[in-house]
A and B are shown apart, each in its own frame.
Chain A
Amino acid sequence: MRFLLAGLVFGFVLTRAEVISWFRIQEMFRFQSFHMYGVIASALVVAGVALEIIKRRRVRALDGTPIQLAPKEVGRGYRYIIGGAIFGVGWAFTGACPGPLFALLGSGLAVMIVPIASALAGTWLYGYLRPWLPH
């Protein structure tokens, strides 16, 4: 229930920030406004400071367990650069990352069902091809 509520606030913020807008994403990749960069940079600063405080003070979660964030294995890094670039193309095409896909559907754009379904197909395709892909 608390995660449903957190998601609701998050979807509201994403929409009010206009970061779910195809227009804003185009504006960002064309370097024609500071808006998106301001959103991402200030989100990073706040999240970074919060994580630093959590680590230094050894903050515990609501259920009493020590908060931890699993480090991501870098390996050769192929998956991050190739997968990242593929996602980047899709981000510019749809104007949406996974969260905004759902926020846009909620905003009344029923046709967003299509990119959501094709994103599921894309994720499934990755699961299928995974053994043959460089990571």
Chain B
Amino acid sequence: MLASLVDWLSSPWPWYVAGPAIGLFVPALLWLGNKPFGVSSNLRHLCAGIAPCGLDHFTYDWRREGSWNLLFVAGILAGGFLAAVVFANPEPIALSRNARASLTALNITDHRGLAPREIFQWPALATARGFVLLVIGGVLVGFGTAYAGGCTSGHAITGLADRQLASLIAVAGFFAGGLLATWIILPRLLA
């Protein structure tokens, strides 16, 4: 009984288990405290807390507005630890054969773990691909979500589920940008 529970907690979940579980966070956070599910607001709260520099966008009571969300994100960090370290799945991700072949062609050959080890490590930051993926990529995530007023959780899940036109436009943007990066930029950067 306990062994099978541990086994379940350590194995990858299929989309039809994981997806509905993720969707439940929208009503759960509303019910727990009338909070809209959205993670990227935390980047704004952190900026407001660390270096508001008199900018309008960061001048608000971030403690009052954002404390719950910062706690939520601290929980995400702990949840990642619990799932990847305590209940670690020793197997590599069951990527499709085609995905493996495509990534190998881009010199991403080690498919173990959650992210390519060749790039997601400190020394790689000094290489062009490591710098672009981790540093530039991070800037674009922060700038883009702030500009669009939300990320995957706020727009693609909450906003679309609430049938907001703004979120539909944003999600179209997410995919346009992702396809551009995947099909045009990454092949030139990695191959």
Give the number of A-B contacts (CB < 8 Å). 501
Question: How many B residues have CB within 8 A of the partner chain?
Answer: 126
CB distance from B54 to the nearest CB of A (A): 10
- B81–A107 CB distance below 8 A: yes
- A101–B141 CB distance below 8 A: yes
When C-beta atoms are compared, the residue in chain A nearest to B22 turns out to be A43
Chain B residues in the interface with A (C-beta under 8 A): 9, 11-16, 18-36, 39-40, 42-44, 46-47, 50-51, 53, 55-58, 68-69, 71-85, 89, 93, 95-96, 98-99, 102-103, 111, 114-116, 120-122, 124-125, 132-153, 155-167, 169-183, 185-186
- A22–B78 CB distance below 8 A: no
- A94–B20 CB distance below 8 A: no
Chain A residues in the interface with B (C-beta under 8 A): 1-30, 32-48, 50-51, 53-54, 59, 61-63, 65, 67-74, 77, 79-99, 101-112, 114-128, 130-131, 133
- B22–A119 CB distance below 8 A: no
Cα of A102 to Cα of B9 in the assembled complex, Å = 20
Q: Which of B28, B43, B102 is packed against the most chain A CB atoms within 10 Å?
A: B43
- A12–B79 CB distance below 8 A: yes
When C-beta atoms are compared, the residue in chain B nearest to A90 turns out to be B140
Q: Which of B80, B120, B162 is packed against the most chain A CB atoms within 10 Å?
A: B80
